[in-house]
Amino acid sequence: MTVSRFLRVPHEVAPATAARIEAALAHTAYTPNKHAGMLASGRSNIVAAIVPNISNATFAQTVQGLSKTVQGSGLELLLASTNYSLAREEEQIRAVLGWSPSGLVVTGCRHTPAALALMVAAKASGTPVLEVWDSNPRDKRFIQIGFSHPAVGRMMARHFLQRGYRDMTYVDSGVIEDFRARERANAFVAEAAKAGARVQLITAPQSEPIAAGGDMLDEMLSSGLPRAAAFANDNLATGAYLRAVQRDISIPHQFAMLGFGDFPIASQLGDGLSTVSVAPYDIGVVCGHRLLALLNEAGARPGIRASETPAAPRPLPQPELIQRGSS
Amino acid sequence: MTVSRFLRVPHEVAPATAARIEAALAHTAYTPNKHAGMLASGRSNIVAAIVPNISNATFAQTVQGLSKTVQGSGLELLLASTNYSLAREEEQIRAVLGWSPSGLVVTGCRHTPAALALMVAAKASGTPVLEVWDSNPRDKRFIQIGFSHPAVGRMMARHFLQRGYRDMTYVDSGVIEDFRARERANAFVAEAAKAGARVQLITAPQSEPIAAGGDMLDEMLSSGLPRAAAFANDNLATGAYLRAVQRDISIPHQFAMLGFGDFPIASQLGDGLSTVSVAPYDIGVVCGHRLLALLNEAGARPGIRASETPAAPRPLPQPELIQRGSS
DNA sequence: TTGAAAGCGCTAACAG
DNA sequence: CTGTTAGCGCTTTCAA
């Protein structure tokens, strides 16, 4: 009992005892069994995060931001990926809730009914549930750290419209299950059409996006190059940009381009690729801060070191259109 | 007890009973407490993975490969990152072992003595310990899924030497704690020097690598452009490539380039960037397969679904120099 | 400041 | 095929 106490609240054991315990610990390679601790205390120090795909740079940054923010406070990250499948997401939520996590982070605001029920139950039992990468004003049951994808699609269309382009194409992502990409695409098309512009929606193949972007440029070329094209992400746009340069197409005079995501390469392509910045790392950081704040206020929890950085509630930077040489 | 049995080995309960249990389950939103299960059974179905940085595309792919391989078998992934610090790695290993993981995956073969002791203890207690992304023939205590970084550095130097370049620069990564990058750099320099070539080692700033690569190109330009340059990774090389194009430098006639990693963009830059492919995703997949194989042979473990794919022991593709237009 | 008792929710072993 | 008993390693509570 005294050892257990020493491990959790060291200043509550006498210095002499503490020294003896430390000595013993050094000889023993003792590792506290966290399952037993969790079972007894009901607290777990696990944060479960469920993302569509970890190798997607965007989500990887969010995970890294979350991980970095949260690990400083003794929380650990249980990570699962869904491959953009809602059914798989439900499975993962169910699996992950069995670890009684201190917090649950899911991607997006769309879930199967059963998944939603699990999330509601988790929330009801006091586990913070956060949705990242999207925002749905019509259902604010969970904490949302993201933005409106249709609004971004409209913003992108208006950028082209304001610059006088009346003939534009939207190159959507080949990941057919990525309905957030779809929301941007549809909103783009609707906004452009509403303004009377000529607008076309094409979809990239599911293959590697940089190469796919190049292929889409060729496809547009063969069916009549539009005056301007927006892309579901900067990788697609980069591929198209590089191919356009090879084909001696002048950007933006013949062909204007707009990406999404503000990947590091966007600023390095020729005179720069115009894009929308969305701060994926910050999504993770803000998510972590919100989580820590909630855990702290839910009572001083012995296991969790009250975050040294007093959870500065920095707000999430909203999507911003970054104009560069390509438009 | 019967419910517990139904959940683990459904065919051992009578169909009628099973039906009653299923009905009850549907009404109850019951989630088994995995901590209690673990505590009682001594098995955890957790795989702990510790990587330097998740938002690094390379490690993200490894994690995704591991995650995908392993999740099909009911294992879950506990992820921690070290920011390339060995001290932090030790901390994370210690923390993660408290969850009695079924397997422990660490990055690289260099660890603090205490971390090593923990890994040895874990192995001794029957937990498979795997080291990814490196290989150390002199210490094969753990399963290694990686390659020799010095060998890659030498391979890169020999590529330039074979093509007759006698004046070359190696642009090392700005991540000073990344000693695997350092091993490649040093081996490159040694090999080139041994052959009597003129060779220089410079280090990129710690900033975002694509932009940093561009800056390094300018730096080389101002101090006399070498005949050939190798880069610690394809992002640095990409930045330099794009900048070289802007500066009207002819690749490879004036300036030959060689990257590392075979990132998707490498094949899309002009006539292609020569690089070394290292299969980061496969490292994760192979790691997962080895792990599953070990867990299966360590006795039929009720929790773990014997992997549907019978853990086809595909070997790890070794690093390969991919020659493209830049050299 | 320390320690004894009880119990967290589950599974192993065994009895019925 | 089902259910009883004991106990996993820790924490909570409370007494000494």
Minimal C-alpha gap between B196 and chain A (Å): 36
- CB contacts, 8 Å: A61 with chain B: 55
Strand blocks (E) in chain B: 46-51, 76-81, 103-107, 129-132, 143-145, 167-172, 198-203, 228-231, 256-258, 275-277, 320-322
B326 pLDDT above the threshold of 70 = yes
d(CA B45, CA B77): 9
Q: On chain C, which bases lie within 7 A of the protein's CB atoms?
A: 1-5, 7-13
Phi and psi for B3 in degrees, rounded to 5?
A: -65, -45
CA B157 to mean position of chain CA atoms: 23
Instruction: Give the closest nucleotide to B1 (alpha carbon vs C1').
Output: D3
- CB contacts, 8 Å: B264 with chain A: 208-211, 235
Question: Smallest Cβ distance to A239: which of B33, B211, B268?
Answer: B268
Beta bridge partners of B276: B321
This prediction has a pTM of: 0.92
Answer for B16: CB within 7 Å of strand D: yes
**B58: three-class secondary structure by DSSP:** helix
C-alpha radius of gyration, chain A, whole number = 24
Instruction: Give the closest nucleotide to A38 (alpha carbon vs C1').
Output: D10
Phi and psi for B51 in degrees, rounded to 5?
A: -125, 160
Q: Do A265 and B264 touch (CB under 8 A)?
A: no
B193 pLDDT above the threshold of 60 = yes
Answer for B300: CB within 7 Å of strand C: no
Q: Do B264 and A95 touch (CB under 8 A)?
A: no
Q: Do B54 and A54 touch (CB under 8 A)?
A: yes
- CB contacts, 8 Å: A215 with chain B: none
Q: Which of A321, A325, A308 is closest to A69 using CA atoms?
A: A308
pLDDT score, position A115? 94
Q: Which residue of B has its CA nearest to A32?
A: B98
Answer for B33: CB within 7 Å of strand C: yes
User: What rounded mean pLDDT belongs to chain B?
Assistant: 93
Q: Do A117 and B29 touch (CB under 8 A)?
A: yes
* B contact test, residue of A47, A58, A79, A123 with most B CBs within 10 A: A79
Answer for B1: CB within 7 Å of strand C: yes
Chain B 34-73 contacts with nucleic strand D (CB below 7 A): 36, 39-40
At a CB cut-off of 8 Å and minimum separation 6, what does B54 contact?
Answer: A54, A60, A63, A64, A67, B60, B63, B79, B81
Q: Do A80 and B95 touch (CB under 8 A)?
A: no
If you write DSSP's letter for every residue of A98-119 in order, what string do you get?
A: TT--SEEEEESS---HHHHHHH
- CB contacts, 8 Å: B53 with chain A: 64
Q: How far is the CA of B85 from the C1' of D10 (A)?
A: 31
Q: Do B54 and A63 touch (CB under 8 A)?
A: yes
pLDDT score, position B156? 98
d(CA B76, CA B48): 8
Using N-to-C axis directions, what is the helix angle for A149-162 and A179-194, rounded to 10°? Answer: 40
pLDDT score, position A312? 59
CA A76 to mean position of chain CA atoms: 18
End-to-end CA distance of chain A: 68
Q: Which residue of B has its CA nearest to A44?
A: B35
Minimal C-alpha gap between B200 and chain A (Å): 26
At B297-325, the pLDDT tens digits run 765 444 444 444 455 567 899 999 999 99
Answer for A123: CB within 7 Å of strand D: no
At a CB cut-off of 8 Å and minimum separation 6, what does A312 contact?
Answer: A289
Q: On chain D, which bases lie within 7 A of the protein's CB atoms?
A: 1-5, 7-13
- CB contacts, 8 Å: A98 with chain B: 31-34
pLDDT score, position A8? 87
**b/e per residue A10-24 (b: at least 16 CB within 10 A):** eeebeeeebeebeee
Beta bridge partners of B50: B80, B106
Phi and psi for A239 in degrees, rounded to 5?
A: -60, -45
- CB contacts, 8 Å: B80 with chain A: 67, 71, 76-77
| CB atoms near residue B227 (< 10 Å) | 18
Q: What is the band of B277 on the pLDDT scale with cuts at 50, 70, 90?
A: very high
pLDDT score, position A298? 66
Q: How far is the CA of A5 from the C1' of C4 (A)?
A: 15
Answer for A300: CB within 7 Å of strand D: no
Instruction: Work out the average pLDDT over B72-88.
Output: 92
pLDDT score, position B312? 59
**B196: three-class secondary structure by DSSP:** coil
Q: Over its length of 327 residues, how does chain A's per-residue pLDDT go in tens digits? A: 899 999 988 999 999 999 999 998 888 878 899 999 999 998 889 999 999 999 999 999 999 999 999 988 889 999 999 999 999 999 999 999 999 999 999 999 999 999 999 999 999 988 999 999 999 999 999 999 999 999 999 999 999 999 999 999 999 999 999 999 999 999 999 999 999 999 999 999 999 999 999 999 999 999 999 999 999 999 999 999 999 999 999 999 999 999 999 999 999 999 999 999 999 999 999 999 999 999 887 654 444 444 444 555 678 999 999 999 999
B211: left (phi over 0), alpha (psi -120 to 50) or beta: alpha
Percent of chain B with pLDDT over 70: 95
The token pair at B121 is 């203890």
The token pair at B223 is 């101090």
pLDDT score, position A30? 86
Minimal C-alpha gap between B278 and chain A (Å): 16
Answer for B5: CB within 7 Å of strand D: yes
pLDDT score, position B72? 82
Answer for B2: CB within 7 Å of strand C: no
Instruction: Give the up-direction half-sphere exposure of residue A290: CA atoms within 13 A in the CB hemisphere.
Output: 24
Q: Looking at beta carbons, which pairs linking B85-91 to residues 24 or more positions away fall under 8 Å? A: B85/B177, B86/B110, B86/B111, B86/B112, B86/B115, B87/B112, B89/B50, B89/B115, B90/B114, B90/B115, B90/B118
Question: Smallest Cβ distance to A210: which of B34, B77, B264?
Answer: B264
d(CA B289, CA B308): 11
Question: Smallest Cβ distance to B210: which of A53, A208, A265?
Answer: A265
